[in-house]
Amino acid sequence: MDEPLSNLDAKLRVETRANLIKLHQRLQTTVIYVTHDQVEAMTMGHRIAVMRDGILQQLDTPQQLYDRPSNMFVAGFIGSPAMNFFNAQLVGNGVENEMYVDTGAMRLHVPVHKQNQLKPALGQDIVFGIRPEDIHDRNERRDAPEHQRAVVNVEVVEPLGSELFVYLRAGTQEFTSRMPARADMSAGKAVDIVFDTEKMHIFDKQTEQALA
């Protein structure tokens, strides 16, 4: 199937997607489905091949693509809103278990279990990635340690009923957070946020391949 839903309106696209899933469950046969819509790929696929310029980037299950993208292209393609990327440096102070991602405006601790993988990149420029849903309002994570927190400015708030898309700024870097609908966010406000660093992604700046 080559983009069979692309010309349908939003409501009919959702209905037809569900019908195709039911049809596949009933027929129990292999279907190759081509789409540019990552929601279709994630909801309908058992194994997804992510292609870029005709070259295979990663072949994996939907959840593995989301949790463990092999490079920045896959990381940015899977997930909505897209993953945030920050130019940063991987720094340490010579003390065991002390490794940080330094973006200039923020300094976040790297979880201990990721540090062995990242030692070869210590002192180098890297790209730090984190998904909008892994950036939280401080009021949601009151017990979060200081090294997971940052004070940032709210640029724009998009209320969607069940949740908020919040556009934030730290220094010159703009990024997006996905927060509960009742989070206390308003444009122009300085807020304390928490990064779930257990779910951080680190990429090589030159090759764009995942390091951790």
In this prediction, residue 96 carries a pLDDT of 75
DSSP 173-201: EEEEEEEETT----TT-EEEEEE-GGG-E
Has residue 71 got a pLDDT over 80?
Answer: yes
Question: What domains lie within the chain, and their CATH numbers?
Answer: 10-77 (no CATH), 84-204 (2.40.50.140)
Distance CA 194, CA 181 (A): 17
Nearest to 17 by CA among 5, 27, 35: 5
Per-residue model confidence (pLDDT) at position 142: 82
> Which H helix or E strand runs over 14?
helix 10-27
Tens digits of per-residue pLDDT, 90-129? 998 767 778 999 999 999 999 999 999 999 999 999 999 9
Q: What is the pTM of this model?
A: 0.89
Give the dihedral sign, CA 151/152/156/159: negative
The confidence score (pLDDT) of residue 140 equals 85
